[in-house]
Structure 1
């Protein structure tokens, strides 16, 4: 691990980001054009003290999950992401598993879709990022522990959800989702987090295990979901999945038919006010 070079790069990457580029107010009392250390720590879900020690070359051995969170917060390119891992003494995660890195382009797409709920998932259905509208629609999940940010883990273990579905709709979703997860294993047979998730799901959910043994393989692309929001009530939305070229990240956008009652309910939700954009703390 090259602590001094890692520290230099982290400071450089923080200084080059403007507050506006990550959805923050520029303010008038800034002494430098870049982000404050506290702001990067918040976006990455790490403590300010730990980030300070990294930037000063005093902290060693950051975990891959912390590096991924920092890379997203700092909006690193693919090459910069690989360099970050090398400096920290880790192999480039793309060499032996799925790509979970959010490029600056993906961040910009999410920023431009501020009026629609948007979430970003990896191929293992792990929640990578949300925008404020998605948090307002689905509830706060991005700050929860890593396992509880996995949508299939939440579903098959019965965690609270605002999604309302009939038994038939639940069965159809489970069949499609498990087939999609099996397809991911085919693409990434050596991805340790993916393998661990499947092993654990088979232990805790008989329904998942039964569907896993069916052996179906398919890509899950789009669906419709009814969301029961505690303030504005129910709405049925289209959930369209956009794939990111060069990775297995999926951008899921929730929309309603223009002029419909669902569109009006979604617009009402947009007026309530939510947190600013937050990336996964891993």
Structure 2
């Protein structure tokens, strides 16, 4: 069975990758490979060595959720590889705990180099966790908002519908945006059922906004897609930009960035805004 063979190959690769010290075991004597021996992994997982051999050879199919969970813990698998383990076994990955908020170091380095692009990082529930100065100059500084208002979905369905937004949307684009946001929040709620903040946010939105409550009851799945948005800046006026959303595998974070077509008036306005934000930051 192809799935069993792939599962076995993955388990063996992960076993040979992790060191005894990483697994909480003494290094012991000489080793032909730096990873765990089958006997050590079997002990950590609570299965027989014979079963582990059959699993790695693709002869043991349909391991129980308990065995898969123990394997993931013993092998110290990060979220993405943990999900892969379950999928290779033909099982549904169990929900995780809380919505991740930490920005990986490699991603942070990439963000720091993109100072010419309005950019912000959001959680799976659309809480703003990071932004650069150009984002703040274009769309307003999230630092001026309280914790709840830094959630994009809450801000849109409550404050922005009452006071207005810098982003212009006609009825068609507003409908698509609302469906995408509600679908994203439902995915976050399903994926992280133990996250109290997500439950409280969802309950508050259902109470505060009938439109959100209606969309929540529809159980729709609306994928994010690239779009063009017009941002009405209080000093520079309308700036039309491409908006892209990048999802980071493993951390479940989203990077939202805006860009302008080179050589256009919008690119010129964005450059002026960048220059102004740079001068302000140096003062």
TM-score by length of 1: 0.61
Distance 2:143 2:224 in 1: 22
Shift of 1:222: 2.7
Give 2:118's aligned residue: 117
Distance 1:106 1:155 in 2: 27
TM-score by length of 2: 0.61
Tell me which of 208, 223, 228 is aligned to 1:224.
228
Shift of 1:230: 0.9
Uncovered stretches (5+) of structure 1, i.e. residues with no partner: 1-77, 79-93, 277-282
Give 2:138's aligned residue: 137
User: In 1, are the aligned partners of 2:128 and 2:151 still within 8 Å (CA)?
Assistant: yes
Give 1:183's aligned residue: 187
Distance 2:151 2:236 in 1: 26
Distance 2:181 2:102 in 1: 22
User: In 2, are the aligned partners of 1:121 and 1:250 still within 8 Å (CA)?
Assistant: yes
Distance 2:189 2:266 in 1: 36
Q: Within 5 Å, which residues of 2 pair with 1:141-180?
A: 141-159=142-160, 160-180=164-184
User: In 2, are the aligned partners of 1:183 and 1:219 still within 8 Å (CA)?
Assistant: no
Distance 1:95 1:211 in 2: 25
Tell me which of 182, 193, 196 is aligned to 1:192.
196
Distance 2:228 2:188 in 1: 22
SS across alignment from 1:190 = coil
Distance 1:158 1:235 in 2: 22
Shift of 1:221: 4.1
Distance 1:222 1:99 in 2: 24
Residues 158, 168 of structure 1: alpha-carbon distance in 2 compared, 3 angstrom cutoff: farther
User: In 1, are the aligned partners of 2:121 and 2:131 still within 8 Å (CA)?
Assistant: yes
SS across alignment from 1:273 = helix
Give 1:38's aligned residue: none
Q: Spell out structure 1 runs of 4+ moving beyond 4 A.
A: none
- Tell me, yes or no, if structure 1 residue 206 matches structure 2 residue 210: yes
User: In 2, are the aligned partners of 1:222 and 1:240 still within 8 Å (CA)?
Assistant: yes
SS across alignment from 1:115 = coil
Residues 219, 189 of structure 1: alpha-carbon distance in 2 compared, 3 angstrom cutoff: farther
Uncovered stretches (5+) of structure 2, i.e. residues with no partner: 1-77, 79-94
**Structure 1 vs Structure 2 CA RMSD:** 1.9
User: In 1, are the aligned partners of 2:239 and 2:266 still within 8 Å (CA)?
Assistant: yes
Tell me which of 248, 251, 254 is aligned to 2:255.
251
Distance 2:151 2:171 in 1: 21
Residues 213, 95 of structure 1: alpha-carbon distance in 2 compared, 3 angstrom cutoff: closer
Distance 2:268 2:166 in 1: 18
Shift of 1:168: 2.0
